[in-house]
């Protein structure tokens, strides 16, 4: 009897363990998760954690000392350069492993392994875009360069050394919560991460949307809604600059008008897009314009704001170079920063480097495709996508050779991006598929000591193309709109192109010596803010859709400034002045029919009239303007777009603004659904009345102040709310230099004054540790939100005893 009871009690114990160790009955394996010696408690880092360590690894060749300062920024001092990359990999893994791996899973189309079936669409799309194909080409190219190979091998070894020593209890908390384990790192994963940045920064085209817009609108309307050039554009390279003699002459096919530019075909696919706001500001002012007679370089890349942050601050000091700045957890080197001689930063080039071609397969088997009048054999890539809790999904992607390039047929009958009814096949030609060694840019710019070094480094930046800013202690400043840019004829790649012969293919890349650049310009500064880099006199066609109001404002301010201090530059980076509002407000105020407004509406109008045009914290008028501008665009265009295909390009914001400035009887003001003809006054008043209703709601909820209305938040990468920071008190907006939107904005702000003793400032909305259980997880966020900076400490030998050093990690050969 007792034995039977004993067995019963044992069975209850076993059942309890199974329930608490799995997710069969519970939402989480609570026993495993809450065990104080294994689970999440182990991730609760001591508030006074001492990071001091003495580590020995066989892969090292010399001694490396890492000094962690009070903000947990590592200052890596290595006797051998590659040892520094080993340690950088080790530290990235120690502080950011989960994010590093997640980003490569996202890049390689493996999200379903973690998230289950809801990740499948993303995974198929990314594999069909050829992300893994691109990373394989890049990894191969990287490993062909012995210097880069050694650098990446050391970095990978550093990451893996950390991963191998992990135990159940030391796993990052997200692995425990989601329930999986990290894989080994590889150079391919580094390449995958870099391809993710290519996606983020160079996959923002609108070919499908524009194709449908072209088919829906008359050619006249199309030109009004999507003009090739904007009047108020202030390009990166000032208007009137003479460009070098053209060497490549892209020629439009003879039948371009009839079978391409004027066709009315529609498309029924939709693709995943990076945020349109992915952009940045950078500028450098010459010594003549600064108080200390030394150049100042500034950079703030605008990207999705997440925790853990995309960036990790680091100083790397080796016998060959000494660089400080932000690095990507996932890749070796410093990306944006400074060294003992110069400072460097980038903004996104934003050109259209991803085009689609319609492919004619012989039949549904996709075995053969028509090209130049002959059927050729397709090559297939079979993708096995693992799905958590489900059988694998097998996708076969056809690759066709267009000219010299093998391109994936991303969309076909089997995949349309979530739309139905697609029967066509679209292959994608993307510069990210071409071999390049972009890491070499970081490798060389980290050790650059003058303009010549900068030039030698910049040519390696091919994808994603960037506006590379540079400033040097000797007084040089420079900007190159660097990248692998297809030399296009006018209109090439704006829409889906025929893919059945050579005539529509890219005819070459713009030669390096024709890449627009500026070196010590007379105006005393260089700047870029993702606006169109050149005016119409540039010989190549580079697309039509670029943001321009930030660039306009930056150039206007820099032109007017003199005797500049680093503090002035910080104020400029965090400036909330709304240049778009400045241009449109007079028209609004002139147009609005005040006699038709009720009391609430009048109250809001009065606030708007008194606005200082700044999207500042506490500004109610900024909320009124931004809501009004949205509603105004809808009021003007919703009637024209009511019957448009779902996938369609919305007019550029500047189209409406410039259309009205040119002609206040702008054609689209008329509501085509009414018998009378509406004018500016009618539309402004109608939009304002609609706006007032929304504002009233916001006011009742206590959210009329701009920062409350906008409610900027920095989300955890897996969207776990308790690991996120919400409702940050920060102003700014899309058309402000401080381009802080709801979940997107300046992901790193940096100001470097190249005086004899470099004066450096920076801040990012995150923290050095990726562990939500660490006080270093999000400790920079409030500083960032309030527009304050940290002084960046370029530590030198002899400062080891400085009070800013909180711990020393010593790495040596075992």
Give the footprint of another protein on this chain (CB under 8 A): 2-3, 5-10, 12-13, 16-17, 20-21, 27-28, 30-48, 168, 173, 177, 720-723, 772-775
* Rounded Cα gap, residues 760 and 295, in angstroms: 12
Judged by beta carbon, residue 708 or residue 775, the one nearer another protein is 775
686 CB contacts (<8 Å, ≥6 apart)?
635, 678
End-to-end CA distance of the chain: 60
**In this structure, are strands 342-348 and 336-339 parallel, antiparallel, or unpaired?**
antiparallel
**In this structure, are strands 749-753 and 744-746 parallel, antiparallel, or unpaired?**
unpaired
The count of other CB atoms within 10 Å of the CB of residue 233 is 19
Min dist CB 742 to another protein, Å, is 22
Min dist CB 775 to another protein, Å, is 6
Min dist CB 161 to another protein, Å, is 22
Judged by beta carbon, residue 38 or residue 149, the one nearer another protein is 38
Min dist CB 668 to another protein, Å, is 48
Contact of 224 with 659, CB cutoff 8 Å? yes
Judged by beta carbon, residue 12 or residue 701, the one nearer another protein is 12
Judged by beta carbon, residue 49 or residue 653, the one nearer another protein is 49
Judged by beta carbon, residue 71 or residue 710, the one nearer another protein is 71
Min dist CB 10 to another protein, Å, is 4
C-alpha pair distances (Å), 459 with each of 465, 468, 470, 515, 766 = 10, 10, 14, 10, 32
DSSP letter for each residue of 198-216 = HHHHH----HHHHHHHHHH
Judged by beta carbon, residue 136 or residue 715, the one nearer another protein is 715
Task: Please provide residue 53's backbone torsions phi and psi, each rounded to the nearest 5 degrees.
Answer: -155, 150
Q: Which two tokens stand for residue 269?
A: 């696919």
Judged by beta carbon, residue 33 or residue 84, the one nearer another protein is 33
Min dist CB 6 to another protein, Å, is 4
Contact of 441 with 458, CB cutoff 8 Å? yes
Judged by beta carbon, residue 49 or residue 639, the one nearer another protein is 49
* Rounded Cα gap, residues 613 and 625, in angstroms: 9
Min dist CB 778 to another protein, Å, is 10
- Per 3-state DSSP, the chain is made up of helix, strand and coil in percentages (nearest 5) of 35, 20, 45
Question: What size, in residues, is the chain?
Answer: 814
Min dist CB 721 to another protein, Å, is 7
Min dist CB 95 to another protein, Å, is 16
Q: Is 768 helix (H, G, I), strand (E, B) or coil?
A: coil
- Compute the Cα dihedral for 171, 172, 177, 181 and give only its sign: negative
Judged by beta carbon, residue 171 or residue 669, the one nearer another protein is 171
* Rounded Cα gap, residues 62 and 810, in angstroms: 11
Min dist CB 591 to another protein, Å, is 49
In 268-282, which positions are buried (b, 16+ CB within 10 angstroms) versus exposed (e)? bbbbeebeebbbbbb
* Rounded Cα gap, residues 722 and 724, in angstroms: 6
Judged by beta carbon, residue 12 or residue 320, the one nearer another protein is 12
The residue ranges of DSSP E strands in 680-781, in sequence order, are 712-716, 725-728, 744-746, 749-753, 759-763
């Amino acid at each position: 009897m007792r034995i039977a009871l004993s067995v019963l009690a044992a069975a209850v114990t076993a059942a309890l363990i199974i329930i608490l160790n799995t997710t069969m009955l519970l939402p989480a394996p609570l026993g495993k998760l809450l065990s104080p010696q294994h689970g999440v408690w182990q991730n609760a880092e001591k508030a006074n954690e001492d990071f001091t360590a003495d580590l020995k690894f066989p892969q090292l060749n010399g001694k490396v000392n890492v000094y962690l300062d009070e903000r947990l920024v590592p200052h890596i001092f290595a006797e051998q350069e590659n040892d520094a990359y080993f340690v950088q990999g080790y530290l990235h893994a120690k502080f950011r492993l989960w994010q590093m791996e997640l980003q490569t899973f996202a890049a390689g189309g493996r999200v379903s392994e973690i998230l289950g079936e809801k990740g499948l669409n993303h995974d198929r799309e990314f594999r069909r875009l050829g992300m893994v194909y691109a990373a394989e080409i890049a990894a191969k190219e990287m490993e062909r360069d012995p210097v880069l190979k050694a650098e990446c091998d050391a970095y990978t070894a550093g990451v893996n050394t950390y991963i191998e020593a992990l135990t159940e209890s030391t796993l990052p908390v997200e692995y425990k919560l989601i329930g999986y384990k990290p894989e080994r790192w590889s150079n391919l994963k580094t390449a995958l991460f870099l391809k993710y940045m290519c996606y983020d920064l160079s996959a923002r085209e609108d070919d499908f949307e524009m194709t449908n817009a072209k088919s829906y609108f008359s050619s006249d309307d199309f030109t009004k809604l999507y003009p090739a050039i904007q009047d108020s554009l202030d390009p990166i390279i000032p208007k009137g600059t003479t460009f070098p003699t053209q060497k490549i002459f892209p020629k439009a096919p003879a039948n371009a008008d009839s079978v391409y530019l004027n066709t009315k075909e529609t498309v029924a696919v939709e693709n995943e897009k990076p945020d349109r706001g992915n952009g940045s500001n950078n500028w450098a002012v010459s010594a003549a314009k600064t108080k200390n007679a030394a150049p100042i370089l500034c950079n703030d890349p605008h990207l999705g704001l997440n925790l853990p942050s995309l960036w990790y601050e680091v100083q790397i000091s080796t016998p060959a170079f000494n660089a400080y700045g932000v690095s990507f957890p996932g890749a070796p080197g410093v990306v944006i920063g400074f060294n003992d001689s110069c400072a460097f930063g980038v903004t996104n080039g934003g050109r259209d480097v991803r085009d689609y071609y319609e492919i004619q397969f012989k039949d549904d088997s996709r075995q053969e495709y028509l090209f130049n009048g002959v059927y050729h054999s397709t090559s297939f890539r079979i993708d096995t996508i693992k799905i958590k809790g489900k059988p694998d999904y097998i996708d076969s992607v056809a690759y066709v050779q267009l000219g010299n390039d093998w391109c994936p047929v991303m969309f076909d009958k089997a995949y349309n991006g979530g739309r139905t009814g697609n029967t066509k096949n679209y292959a994608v030609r993307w510069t990210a598929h071409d071999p390049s060694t972009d890491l070499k840019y970081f490798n060389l710019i980290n050790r650059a000591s003058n303009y010549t070094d900068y030039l030698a480094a910049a040519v390696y930046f091919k994808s994603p193309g960037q506006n590379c800013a540079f400033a040097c202690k000797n007084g040089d400043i420079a900007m190159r709109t660097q990248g692998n840019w297809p030399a296009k004829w006018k209109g090439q790649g704006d829409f889906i192109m025929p893919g059945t012969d050579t005539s529509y293919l890219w005819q070459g890349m713009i030669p390096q010596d024709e890449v627009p650049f500026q070196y010590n310009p007379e105006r005393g500064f260089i700047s870029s803010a993702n606006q169109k880099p050149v005016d119409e006199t540039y010989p190549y066609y580079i697309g039509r859709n670029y943001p321009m109001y930030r660039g306009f404002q930056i150039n206007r301010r820099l032109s007017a400034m003199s005797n500049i201090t680093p503090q002035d530059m910080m104020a400029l980076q965090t400036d909330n002045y709304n240049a778009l509002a400045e241009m449109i407000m007079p028209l609004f105020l002139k147009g609005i029919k005040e006699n038709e407004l009720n009391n609430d509406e009048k109250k809001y109008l009065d606030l708007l009239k008194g606005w200082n045009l700044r999207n500042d914290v506490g500004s109610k008028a900024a909320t009124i303007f931004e809501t009004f501008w949205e509603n105004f665009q809808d009021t003007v265009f919703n009637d024209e777009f009511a019957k448009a295909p779902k996938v369609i390009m919305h007019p550029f914001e500047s189209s409406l603004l410039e259309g009205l400035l040119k002609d206040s009887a702008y054609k689209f003001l008329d509501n085509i659904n009414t018998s009378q003809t509406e004018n500016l006054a009618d539309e402004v008043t109608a939009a304002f009345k609609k706006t007032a209703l929304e504002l009233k709601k916001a006011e009742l909820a206590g959210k009329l102040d701009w920062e409350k209305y906008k409610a900027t938040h920095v989300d955890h990468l897996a969207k776990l709310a308790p690991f996120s920071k919400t409702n940050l008190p920060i102003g700014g907006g899309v058309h402000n230099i401080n381009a802080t939107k709801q979940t997107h904005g300046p992901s790193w702000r940096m100001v470097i004054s190249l005086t004899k003793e470099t004066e450096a400032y920076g801040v990012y909305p995150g923290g050095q540790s990726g562990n939500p259980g660490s006080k270093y997880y999000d400790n920079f966020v409030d500083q960032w939100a309030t527009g304050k900076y940290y002084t960046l400490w370029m530590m030198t030998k002899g400062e080891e005893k400085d009070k800013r050093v909180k711990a020393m990690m010593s790495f040596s050969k075992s």
